[in-house]
Amino acid sequence: MRRCAAALAAAVAACAEAASVRWLADFGPPASTARPPFEALTPAVAAGDGRAGWIAPSGLSAFRHAHREMVANPFRGRQEPPPIWTTPETEDAVWSVSTNSLIVPVPPGEYDVWLLAGSSDGRHAAWVFDFDFAAGGATDRVQVAGAYHFELRRLRAGAEDGALRLDFLPRNRWIANAVMIWPAGDATAEVGVLAPLREAVFGLPPHERDHWVRDPDPPTAPPRPPRPEEEARGFVLWNRHWQECVYPRDRPREDELDPVLCLFAAPGEYEPATFVVRPLRPLTGARVEVGDVGPVRGADTDIRKVRYMAARPNWADRGRWRIVPDVLERFRGGALPAEENARFWLTFRIPDDAPPGLYEGRIRFVCDRGAAEVPVRLRVLPFRLREDPSRRYAIYYHHPFDLAAAAPDAHSADYWRRKAELEHADMAAHGIRNVVLSVRSGAAGPDGRFAIDWVGLEAKMDLWGRHGFVGPVVMGVDCDAIYRKHMNESYGVHLRNVRRPPPAFAEELAALVRQIEAGRRARGWPEFLYYPVDEPSTDPAAVEFMSVVLAAVRSAEARTYVTADPTLPGFAPLRPWVDVWCSQPFALDEVAVRAEWAERAVEHWCYPNHIAGENDHTPVGGARMTFGFGFWRSGYRALIPWIYQGVRGNPWNYLDHPSMDFLVRSEPDGTPIPVALWEAYREGWDDVRYIATLEWTIREARRWDAPRIRDAAAAAERELAAVRDAIRAQPKYIRDDLWGGEEFDVRRWQIARRILALRSAMDEVARAAH
Amino acid sequence: MRIVGPRLLRRTEPAVAAVTPINAAMFADSRFAPVRVEVQGVRPGAFATVEYGLASPAGRVAHVRADLGRGEHVVVLPLPPGGLPAGEWIVSAEVAGSRESVWAPLMLVPSPWEAGR
C-alpha cells in the first residue's frame, strides 16, 4: 500500500512536471532568428547531454525566405503584397531527403506534438514533400505540394523514458518549420501559441491585419425560441436550397425548418442536396448517415460539410474581408461548435441502370446528445440526358504536367501527374470537355528552328483524349519570348509596355505557328485556336500590335482567339483578324452573336469571371444561370471560365497574395475538393442537357406523322419558349434579379415533363401501330 | 427648359411598394411561398400591418398578416397542406385597411413527387 502511494506520488510529481513543459522550436539556418517563446534550432544541433536536437545533423538542409514587405510588380507597374506574409516560423525551415529524428527531453507524460510544415520559397513550386511524421506510437502522413502551402498537424504522443522522439520518415523528402510540444490538452498553449500562429499562417499577420476591415454579416431572419425537441437534442435542423448561401450565423425562416429533400434526376446524373444543423450547444460525435434511396446506395453518396473561409468580396480587394461559405470538404464526423451553422452537402449519383420510379429514403444526423432524420424523395426519370454538341464547356487550367516537368524527383513528378489525372476526371464529371493548353517553344534559335516541347504537349493531349475532351484547343504560344528576342524586354501584362516590333517579329511568330500546325496535323490532333496574348488593352499601341500578331497567325492558316470585349470601340481594328472573341460577360446580344456566326463564321465565347472567384465563391445561383439557362439564351458557343484551380499564395488563405484564389481546392494527396460554384457549374450544364434532350426529342417527334405526337411536340416547343421568355437576360448573372433556387428546379422540371409527355405519346402511337 | 417627372420621392402614408415571389414558378405541393415585400411610408422604428396572400380567380387560399417596418422583407406564406391546383396564381399584398394593393404572378407546376406519376 505504501509502495502504491509512493508510485502515485511519483506519478503525480511527474505529471506536475510535465504540466509545466512547453517546448517550441523554430527551425532554420544559423542566420535565422526565432520569436519568443520559440527557440531557434538549426540543423547543426545534435541531440545529446539532455539537449534537444537531431540524431543525424549531417543529413539536413535549411533555408530562409522571408516575405515581410510589399513588392514591386514591374509587369503591372505597382507595389503589391508578397505571395504570402511570412512569420518568423514560416519564413524558414529544415528539410531532408533522408530519415531523421528529433529528440526532445521531456518528463514522462502525454503530450500534444504540433508540426508546422511548408515552404516559403517560390522556387519550390514543383516540390512535393511527402513524409510520415511519427512520435510516441502515433503517425501522420504529411503531404505538402508546392511553395506557400503549409500543413499544421497534431499528434498525441506519450513520453516514457525521459524524451520524445519525433521521426521524419520521407517517401521522397520532408520539411519542418516548427514543432510545438506541450502537455496534452493544454488549453492555455492552444490559445496563447497555436491560435496566433494559425491566424498568421491561414489569415493575416498582425501588422497586415490592421489594414483590413471585416464586412458585416448579411441580414438574417429574426430569432425564434427553440422548440422543446430542438432544446433536448441540442440543435436546430433546417435547410435552404443548395444554391443559396448559408452563413455561419444565419437563422432559419419558418419555411426552412423541418426539411424534406426532394430530387428528380436522370440515370447517370449527379444531384446535390443539403441540410443544415445549427448547434444550440457544442456538439460532439456528430456524423451523417445516408440510407439507400431506391437504387442509390447510401454508401455511394458523397457527404461533405461546407467550410467557411475568410475571403475578399472582390478578387483584388486589399482591406475588406468577410466570412463566406466556400469549400465542400469531406465529412467523416467530429465536433461542431455552438451557434455556427453546419451545412452538410450531399451529392447523389443516380446509377446508369437505375429503374425509373419514385423512391424514398432518409438521412440521419447523429451526435452524442441526440439525432434527427431528414426524409428524402427521389424521382428517377426514364431517360438519359444528351449533350448539346453545339455548346462547348471549357475551362482555363494550370496544368500540373508543367510542374511534373520541373519536379525535383520522380515522386514529386508522379504526384503532379496523378493530380492532373484526378482533375481531368473531376472536370469530365462536371461537364467540362476542353481545357486551355499552352506549348513551350521559346524564340527561334540561330537555325530558325523552335525547341517545341512536343513531349510535354503529347502527354497533355493524351490525357485530353483519355477523358473524352473535344476540340478546338485554345493554345497559348510563346509570343512574348519572340517579342523579348526582338525588343529585349517583355511587353508586360495587357501589353502595357508594348512598342512596335520589327517585321522579323511577325515572320518569326508565323513560322512558329506553321511549325506547330505541322506537328499538330501529323499527330491527328484537333484544331488549335491560337492564343498569343491574354487580355490586350484598348491602348492604340496594344491594338496595333495585336493586329500584327493576329495577322501573323492567320498567315500560317490558323484561327485566332482573342480575350477582349468586342463591343469596345477601341478593338474595332481587330475585327478582320479575330476568329473567336472571348469576353467576360455575355457582351453581345443573341441576335448579334448568331449573325456574326452566320455571316462571318466568327465565334463568341465567354469567360465569366464574375462567377469564377472574382466575387468570392458565393454567387452560386449566378453560376448556375450562367452555365445553364443563361448560356442557352445567350447564343454564345462556349463558356470557358478562369480557372479550374487558381492558387495564389497559400491555398488555404484567400487573404494573402495580391488577389483571391479561384475555384477548386485540393486534398493533401491532390484529390479535388469542390466549392459550391463548381457544383453549380455542373447543375447549369445539366440544365442545358435537359434542354438538349427535349430539343432532340422534339426533332424525333417531328418525324412521326401522328396528330397526337405533333400536338405534344407543339406543346413542348411552346413550353420551351415560355421557359426561355422567363429568363431575365443579363450580360452578367451574379446575384440580382435571378430565379430563386426552387424556380430553377421547376423550370428544369417543365422541360423534363415535356420529354416524358413526348416519349409517352410516341410509345403509345408505336404500340397502337403494332 | 425641360421638366422631367413627376416622381414619387417619399411616401407619407404606409404602403406596400412591391411584392415579388422569391420563386415565380413553384411546385404545386410546396408547403410555403417565400415572398419579398417592400414597405414604404413607415417612420423608422414604426411598423405597419401588412396583409398578403395567394389567390386565383376562384378565390384567396392563403392569407397572412404581419407587422413590418420600412424596407424590404422576406415573408413566408404557408400553403394548404394538400397542395394546390397547378396554374397561374396571384400573390398580393397591401397595408391593412388600404385599397392600394400590389400583386405579382406565381405559377404552380405539377410536382414531380406526386404519387402515381
Q: Any chain A CB within 8 A of the CB of B88?
A: no
- Contact assignment for A740 to B117 by CB distance below 8 Å: no
- Report CB contact under 8 Å: A254, B74: no
**Mean of all residue pLDDT scores within chain A:** 95
A163 shares its domain with A241:
no
Give the model's confidence band at A7: pLDDT under 50 very low, under 70 low, under 90 confident, else very high. very low
Query: What average pLDDT score do residues A547-575 get?
Result: 97
Q: Is residue B116 part of a domain?
A: no
CATH number at residue A98: 2.60.120.430
Predicted confidence at residue A395, as pLDDT, reads 98
Q: What residues in A contact B76, CB-CB < 8 Å? A: 253-255
pLDDT digits (tens, 9 = 90+) for A728-762: 999 999 999 999 999 999 999 999 999 999 999 99
- CATH number of the domain bearing residue A599: 3.20.20
The verdict on residue B30 lying in a domain is yes
Rounded to the nearest angstrom, the minimum Cα separation between A592 and chain B is 29
Q: Are residues A579 and A701 in the same domain?
A: no
What confidence score (pLDDT) does residue A12 get? 44
On whether both A482 and A554 belong to a single domain, the answer is yes
> What pLDDT was estimated at residue A18?
54
ipTM for the whole complex:
0.92
Chain B nearest C-alpha distance from A481 (Å): 53
pLDDT of A14 > 50? The answer is no
Query: Where in the sequence is the domain holding A311, given as residue range(s)?
Result: 228-380
- Whether the CB of B25 is below 8 Å from some CB of chain A: the reply is yes
To the nearest whole Å, the CA of B88 is away from the closest chain A CA by 13
CB atoms under 10 Å from CB of B96, counted, come to 12
CA distance A559 to A530: 6
Q: Are residues A312 and A454 in the same domain?
A: no
Q: Are residues A672 and A713 in the same domain?
A: no
Q: Which three cell numbers stand for residue A744?
A: 430553377
Bridge partners of A238, per DSSP, are: A257, A276
Q: What pLDDT sits at residue A161?
A: 85
User: Given this model, what pLDDT does residue A455 score?
Assistant: 96
Same domain, residue pair A180 and A204: yes
Does A722 touch chain B if contact means CB atoms closer than 8 Å? no
Burial pattern A546-572, b for ≥16 Cβ within 10 A else e, equals bbebbebbbebebbbbbbbbbeeeebe
For A750, which residue in chain B has the nearest alpha carbon?
B109
Please choose, from the candidates A396, A389, A550, the residue with its C-alpha nearest in 3D space to the C-alpha of residue A473: A396
| B66, part of any domain | yes
Is there a contact between A747 and B25 if contact means CB atoms under 8 Å apart?
yes
- pLDDT for A9 beyond 50: no
Residue A674, CA atoms < 13 Å, CB-side half-sphere: 21
Number of domain units in chain B: 1
C-beta atoms of A358 and B117 within 8 A: yes
What is the extent of the structural domain holding B48?
A: 15-109
Are A668 and A705 contained in the same domain?
A: no
Q: Which of A337, A356, A380 is the last residue of a domain?
A: A380
Query: What CATH code is carried by the domain that includes residue B93?
Result: 2.60.40.10
**A188/A115 same-domain check:** yes
Chain B residue closest in CA terms to A381 = B112
Within a domain: residue B10? no
Q: Is there a contact between A749 and B112 if contact means CB atoms under 8 Å apart?
A: yes
Residue range A252-281: mean pLDDT, rounded:
97
Q: Is residue B86 part of a domain?
A: yes
- What percentage of residues in chain A have a pLDDT greater than 70? 97
- Domain with residue A289: its CATH number is 2.60.40.10
In a domain, A337, yes or no: yes
Residue A687 lies in a domain: no
d(CA A421, CA A424): 5
> What confidence tens digit (pLDDT) does each residue in B16-70 have?
999 999 999 999 999 999 999 999 999 999 999 999 999 987 788 888 999 999 9
* A351-388 pLDDT tens trace: 999 999 999 999 999 999 899 999 999 999 999 999 99
Residue B97 lies in a domain: yes
Please judge whether B24 and A358 are an interchain contact, meaning their C-beta atoms are less than 8 angstroms apart.
no
Residue A350 has pLDDT above 90, yes or no: yes
A552 shares its domain with A459: yes
Question: Number of folded domains in chain A?
Answer: 4
Q: Which of A358, A380, A402 is the last residue of a domain?
A: A380
In a domain, A1, yes or no: no
pLDDT (mean) for A412-430: 98
User: Would residue A557 count as lying in a domain?
Assistant: yes
Q: Is residue B62 part of a domain?
A: yes
For residue A358, give how far its alpha carbon lies from the nearest alpha carbon of chain B (Å). Answer: 7
Q: Please tell me the predicted confidence (pLDDT) of residue A187.
A: 93
pLDDT for residue B9 = 63
B32 and A254 within 8 Å at the Cβ level: the answer is yes
Write the DSSP symbol of residue A534.
S
Size of interface A-B (CB pairs under 8 A): 61
pLDDT at B116 over 70: no
pLDDT score at B6: 66
pLDDT value for A1: 41
Question: Does A387 fall in a domain?
Answer: no
Q: Do B109 and A746 touch (CB under 8 A)?
A: yes
A219 falls within a domain: no
Select from A648, A679, A710 the last residue of a domain.
A679
Query: Is A192 within a domain?
Result: yes
Q: Are A141 and A98 found together in one domain?
A: yes
**Contact A735/B at CB under 8 A:** no
| CB A715, CB A722: distance < 8 Å | no
The pLDDT of residue B23 is 97
